Structure 1
Amino acid sequence: MNLNNLENLKSEMKALGFSKELQEKMEDNMKANLPEFVLKDQINGYKGQIDLNLYFKQSGQSENYYLNKYDVALNEGKPLEAGQKYLVISPSETAGKNNVFKRENVAEAIEVFKKHTGNAELSVGKDAAHKTRLATMEEGKINYVDKEFGRIFRNPPLPQTIWVERGKGFTASQSVNLIEGRAVYREDMLTQGGLPYKAWMKLDLDGPRDRHMNFNMNQYHDPSYGFNLKEVLDKFNIKELENPKEREKLEAQLKNGDRASITVEKNGEQVKLQVEAVPRYSQLNMFAGNGRAEKREQFLKETSINKAVTKSKGKEVSANQGLGV
């Protein structure tokens, strides 16, 4: 194992926001001198469990390894609890014993289950003795699927490929935010001609996937598109904006695609909400702690409300003036 290569890859993993535990697993696989290997991780998001697969490949010319891509997939079903795995159980050739395949990725577990041609069971749990049944198969035919699991079973989550180069690209947290439908701000983008530019990036989750089965990326260029995060934030009565350090932290979180925590006043009391940037509409979305959407207009400053009313009246007058008799 090349120690310089290991050191470089650890730096790349750290820059991309992957855990120290994953870095240690990477080192173990490199020591085993495997030609290629995949590391797996799971993160609980706001909309479900996000599965990440990191792909490492050894050079054909040396013992060095490279990380050029990883993928993310959103499982909108119930996330795995601590210590749980998806279990695919089938009879063993040894009488009275079963084969148990363990997976942390629901799509992989469903794929393994569906490949069986005899009797099999797909469950979730810590082990075969402590499990909850999700689906069963008899003589190769599926005869039961749990109702709550049915949608995921019929349409397993497809991964989105994230390309990276020497630790540069979308970080793990940014990719999680993208696959959950939020926008991420990048200052280090390059055109095909090599010219730098800045833009808010958002996956088109409602559009068709490309020929590689990835979602297309919408880009809202800065400043030409017109979304100014600072100006939009200043329209609202958000307590964190009063403190320069808190404001800087909030802006950084929103640019990372996070749902950031803010303090606002509602019905005469200070309450905590979550906020996310929506560059397409030059707006913010706000949510209560339980994920329920909040009307952002109630948190606007008086000056912003007056401007909005004046603008609305102006549009109404213009429309009336344009009416013919």
Structure 2
Amino acid sequence: MVELIDKAGLAAELRAYLEEQVSLGCKWVVYDSDTPISSEFDLNCFADAAYAFVFEREHQQIFNWHQSVPISDMIYQLKELEKSGLMSDQKLNNPKTSFKTKAMNLNNLEDRKDEMRALGASEQSIAKMEELMKTGVPKFKVHQAMPANKGQVDVEFYLQQSSKSEYYFLNKFTVAHNLGKPLEQDQHYLIITPGEKGKSGSAKEFDLVTDAVEAFKKREGAVELAIGKDAAHKQQTLATMENGKVNFVAKSFRGTFYGKPAMQTMWPDRGKGFTVQQSAQMIQGYAVYRDDLVNFNSGEVYAAWVKFDMDKGAGANGNFNLQQYHDPQYGFDLPKVLDNYRIKELAVPEKREKLEADLRNGLTPLVSVEKDGQSVKLLLEAVPRYGKVNFYTPDGSLEKREQFMTKEAFANVLDAGQEKGKNKDKQQEAGMGIGG
């Protein structure tokens, strides 16, 4: 909860200032949560969450703890202060003037639900978030598993209470791609410790394979890493340890056990930004299309295909850099590119619309094409960097795209290849002449 100096009308004055900042495009505000706010000059407003977090970190001090919050949340708190007349000299631990009310918690809960749904979180994740918010725990994580073409993507949402109230904020979410076999319904990763003679053992449950492996490696003595509903219903042993040393890892699990999953931290802005689905596809190496990107310098909105630069590896902050492919520069017009191929779904407007939407979200939908006189199903991937699409069999084998082209498109490819060959011959002849 924000604290203000004892000045009549200050809450309304600050609210009006913040509403003006919103009209100018700002969405986040940073303030010193250890010092009562005295004027608008104590508030630093930003249009983008990333800049707010950078400012927060740069000005962070032990006794001047700067905090980033959405402007809309602070406006809400200021409105409540206007209603109640609550001032900085009225402490939060006073039950008569406490801002920690049930009504606020319910509003906060609805805000977070809307935000989670806007990001594409599952209803199970939202229900888990609600359950944990009602306990009043200061901070917590909610896990969600997403299907991947290989393995699965683990998503974790990070929620934390404000230092001054019970108001929760969704600070970030992470996506991590691991190649392990996805868990079935009601399954968990289990670290099983055998009991003494005549006594049953104990098991600790994990939903994330990375958490389970890390905890297993820290154990000593005899312990087992397995999959199952619980210790009594173990379905598969993944690894075992004796005397603190790993002595077995299942062959199918070795890549997951010894490898490190690709991971990225995403910073949503009140439910806006890359969705969970888009982020899950990007961490697998696919590109997604956004038409609401903003140039930080000019404030101009633009469109581009975006993917993580995974070839260069993660940077010092643990994240991959972004690669952007703008339509005019790379000449990747998705509808026109698709028209070059004999894909049956393109003939049905509703199916075509869904196909294009899936590709823009980085998905690899199944399409129907004809191969060797038979109709087959293949995975389709958008590759904006090269202005093309790729076709894969369901097991991941790459197919030659030319065999699915229309006659006109294939003829254009042949003509372009012949022209390229002629230009190369001319360059070689010119080089020989200069050398002579």
Pairwise same-fold verdict (TM > 0.5): yes
* CA drift at 1:292: 2.6
Identity %: 46
1:198 to 2:303 alignment = yes
Q: Could you list the per-position Cα deviations for residues 90-126 of structure 1 after superposition, in whole angstroms to 9, with x for gaps in the alignment?
A: 2468972323111121110011111112221111222
Code of the residue aligned with 2:242 in structure 1: it is E
Structure 2: gaps spanning 5 or more residues:
1-101
Code of the residue aligned with 1:78 in structure 2: it is K
What residue in structure 1 maps to residue 204 of structure 2?
Answer: 101
264-273 or 311-320, which moves further after superposition?
264-273
Higher helix share: 2
Distance in 2 (CA, whole Å) between partners of 1:45 and 1:158 is 13
CA RMSD of aligned residues (A): 1.8
Partner SS, residue 55 of structure 1 = strand
* CA drift at 1:262: 1.9
1:138 to 2:245 alignment = no
* CA drift at 1:270: 2.8
- Tell me if the contact between 2:341 and 2:406 (Cα under 8 Å) persists in the aligned partners: yes
What residue in structure 2 maps to residue 275 of structure 1?
Answer: 380
1:32 to 2:135 alignment = yes
Q: Could you list the per-position Cα deviations for residues 24-74 of structure 1 after superposition, in whole angstroms to 9, with x for gaps in the alignment?
A: 111111111111110011122111111111100111122211112111111
Partner SS, residue 223 of structure 1 = helix
Distance in 2 (CA, whole Å) between partners of 1:278 and 1:124 is 37
Distance in 1 (CA, whole Å) between partners of 2:260 and 2:235 is 21
Partner SS, residue 330 of structure 2 = coil
Distance in 1 (CA, whole Å) between partners of 2:183 and 2:106 is 35
Distance in 1 (CA, whole Å) between partners of 2:397 and 2:329 is 32
1:265 to 2:265 alignment = no
Code of the residue aligned with 2:422 in structure 1: it is V
* CA drift at 1:22: 1.3
Structure 1: gaps spanning 5 or more residues:
none
- Tell me if the contact between 1:208 and 1:215 (Cα under 8 Å) persists in the aligned partners: yes
* CA drift at 1:259: 0.8
Indicate the structure whose relative CO is greater, using CA pairs within 8 Å and at least 6 residues apart. 1
Partner SS, residue 224 of structure 1 = helix
Partner SS, residue 274 of structure 2 = coil
What residue in structure 2 maps to residue 7 of structure 1?
Answer: 110
What residue in structure 2 maps to residue 232 of structure 1?
Answer: 337
Q: Could you list the per-position Cα deviations for residues 285-304 of structure 1 after superposition, in whole angstroms to 9, with x for gaps in the alignment?
A: 11223433221110111111
Distance in 1 (CA, whole Å) between partners of 2:376 and 2:248 is 45
Distance in 1 (CA, whole Å) between partners of 2:124 and 2:112 is 14
Distance in 2 (CA, whole Å) between partners of 1:148 and 1:251 is 35
Distance in 2 (CA, whole Å) between partners of 1:131 and 1:290 is 26
Q: Map of 1:159-238 to 2, 5 A cutoff?
A: 159-193=263-297, 194-238=299-343
23-32 or 187-196, which moves further after superposition?
187-196
- Tell me if the contact between 2:330 and 2:386 (Cα under 8 Å) persists in the aligned partners: no
Code of the residue aligned with 2:152 in structure 1: it is Q
Using the size of structure 1 for normalisation, the TM-score is: 0.94
- Tell me if the contact between 2:122 and 2:144 (Cα under 8 Å) persists in the aligned partners: no
Distance in 2 (CA, whole Å) between partners of 1:246 and 1:128 is 46
Code of the residue aligned with 1:85 in structure 2: it is H
Distance in 2 (CA, whole Å) between partners of 1:94 and 1:199 is 64
Spell out structure 1 runs of 4+ moving beyond 6 A: none
* CA drift at 1:11: 1.0
